[in-house]
Amino acid sequence: MKKPLRYAIIGSGAAGTEAACQLRLRDPESEITVITASKLQFISRYDLPRVFEGVDDWRELLVYPPEFYEDNRITVRRNTWVAGVNPRENKLNFRHKEEMSYDKLLVASGGGGYMPEALREFLPYMNPFSTFSNAARLRDSLGKKGKVLMLGSDMVGLDLARYLTSAGHDVTVYANELLFWPHEIKPEDTAPYVKALETMGIKVVFGRKPVAVEPVNSSSKAGKYTRRLVFEKGKAELANVVMPFYGLMPALDFMIGANVDIERGLLVNPELKTTNDRIWAAGDVCQIWSPEENRYSFYYGWNNVKEMGHLAAHNMTGDNREIKTAQTNELKITKKGELHSPYWEHD
Ligand SMILES: Cc1cc2nc3c(=O)[nH]c(=O)nc-3n(C[C@H](O)[C@H](O)[C@H](O)COP(=O)(O)OP(=O)(O)OC[C@H]3O[C@@H](n4cnc5c(N)ncnc54)[C@H](O)[C@@H]3O)c2cc1C
């Protein structure tokens, strides 16, 4: 009898989970293991702002109930960090020193927020927004009508900003060249898009460079505020929360030494295969060769990421499908004069 193939997937986000579901459909006898650093099962990050609509229990945000994984014989190893990949022996090395063999590997490890070197030491005084506990902490720090200062601010930040203003909070964006990232908008073309943000109640300030974030004592003159944002020049600003949004950095440290090509992301062909015959990549971690653009590009957003997981699973099971690399993904302004990005669309 043929031995079932062992598929390993690093990452339980939209890309990794979609791939696991497709692999189960296409190879019913296989062993599928999803390895994730996350403590919880797959929660869509796009749904995190629902904490501002009263969602108080992470179970309400699970994309699939726990029994789904059991029913589909998908093993999810949570709170497990991959520290390295050994391509000669086809093994994953976990941070806790265990090894795991695979026949085929999908890397869907996504990315984390990029932080400029000069601001890294102030991270403990800033609020991240990538997990349910981050989101709940943010809501608690803001109370009924809080004040948020956003640094950057990319489309992930602006996605959150629109939920925050709808929930009655005060949001100011200290913009730099990463405003609207990954959309590439020339500085001379930003005015209508900035106006659209202002229509949505988001204040945008240009030309002020943040250099430090400090904690302040809320019983002092600062009143209810607990953070001070210091700029290179001019008066500091007080707020409840300071949040960085400087674009995403692919999470792939553990792939160094895995004998695959890396630029900023994991380099793959339009079939999502790396330079190693047994390794594919999908989602925010990979940079895909675009014949139209004659370069490797990232393809962000829920629809792209999910499609990559789908397609990678097909190709890992014998297909030769190519991802559509000719895309426009334009930033738009709605009839109501508000901003709309295709990167905000999700199911
Ligand atoms: C609030 C919010 C709003 C967003 N809105 C937008 C938006 O509007 N538009 C947009 O383009 N993007 C948005 N994003 C980004 C969005 O999360 C991604 O585009 C998409 O979810 C990426 O999916 P992914 O499966 O590639 O990776 P992720 O969802 O990031 O999943 C990565 C997985 O890999 C795991 N992992 C990483 N490293 C390791 C390791 N070493 N060992 C084990 N496991 C590991 C993680 O635990 C996680 O399970 C948003 C993100 C947030 C937080």
Query: Per-residue pLDDT tens for 126-136?
Result: 999 999 999 99
CB-CB contact of 173 with 157 (8 Å)? yes
Calculate mean pLDDT across residues 61-73. 96
Query: Would you state the pLDDT for residue 224?
Result: 85
pLDDT at 77 over 70: yes
Task: Give me ligand 1 centre to Cα 116, in Å.
Answer: 20
Reported confidence tier of residue 197, pLDDT bands at 50, 70, 90: very high
Looking at every residue in the chain, the average pLDDT score rounds to 94
Query: Would you state the pLDDT for residue 219?
Result: 65
Query: Would you state the pLDDT for residue 187?
Result: 86
pLDDT at 38 over 90: yes
Q: Which residues of the chain does CATH 3.50.50.60 include?
A: 6-112+249-316, 115-240
Angle at alpha carbon of residue 58, lines to 167 and 218, rounded to 5° = 50
Task: Give me ligand 1 centre to Cα 251, in Å.
Answer: 10
Reported confidence tier of residue 328, pLDDT bands at 50, 70, 90: confident
Q: What is the pLDDT of residues 205-216, one digit of tens each?
A: 999 999 999 999
331 lines ligand 1 (CB under 6 A): no
Q: Is 59 helix (H, G, I), strand (E, B) or coil?
A: helix
Candidate from 77, 248, 302, 308 with most ligand 1 atoms within 8 A of CB, to mutate:
302
Candidate from 39, 105, 156 with most ligand 1 atoms within 8 A of CB, to mutate:
156
Second CATH level (architecture) for the domain 6-112+249-316? 3-Layer(bba) Sandwich (3.50)
Query: Would you state the pLDDT for residue 218?
Result: 66
31-35 vs 74-77, strand pairing mode: parallel
What's the CA gap between 141 and 128, in Å, rounded? 12
Query: Would you state the pLDDT for residue 121?
Result: 97
Candidate from 109, 127, 162, 280 with most ligand 1 atoms within 8 A of CB, to mutate:
109
Reported confidence tier of residue 35, pLDDT bands at 50, 70, 90: very high
What's the CA dihedral at 183, 189, 194, 195 to 10 degrees?
-130
pLDDT at 287 over 70: yes
180 lines ligand 1 (CB under 6 A): no
Instruction: Give the closest residue (by CA) to ligand 1 atom 41.
Output: 82
Give how far the C-alpha of residue 52 lies from the chain's centroid of Cα atoms, to the nearest Å.
19
Reported confidence tier of residue 310, pLDDT bands at 50, 70, 90: very high
315 lines ligand 1 (CB under 6 A): no
210-215 vs 99-101, strand pairing mode: unpaired
CATH number of 115-240: 3.50.50.60
Task: Give me ligand 1 centre to Cα 114, in Å.
Answer: 13
pTM of the model: 0.94
119 lines ligand 1 (CB under 6 A): no
CB-CB contact of 128 with 113 (8 Å)? yes
* Cis peptide preceding 182, ω within 30 of 0: yes
Cα distance between the two ends of the chain: 41
Which ligand 1 atom is the nearest neighbour of the CA of 182? 11
What's the CA gap between 298 and 304, in Å, rounded? 10
Task: Give me ligand 1 centre to Cα 28, in Å.
Answer: 27
What's the CA gap between 82 and 79, in Å, rounded? 10
- What are the DSSP calls for 75-139, one per residue? EEE-S--EEEEETTTTEEEETTS-EEE-SEEEE---EEE---GGGGGGGGGS---SSHHHHHHHH
Query: Would you state the pLDDT for residue 327?
Result: 75
Task: Give me ligand 1 centre to Cα 13, in Å.
Answer: 6
Candidate from 33, 34, 35, 36 with most ligand 1 atoms within 8 A of CB, to mutate:
36
Reported confidence tier of residue 217, pLDDT bands at 50, 70, 90: confident
Which ligand 1 atom is the nearest neighbour of the CA of 283? 26
Greatest Cα pair distance, the chain, in angstroms, is 75
Calculate mean pLDDT across residues 321-333. 88
What's the CA gap between 305 and 310, in Å, rounded? 9
Task: Give me ligand 1 centre to Cα 61, in Å.
Answer: 15
Calculate mean pLDDT across residues 139-148. 94
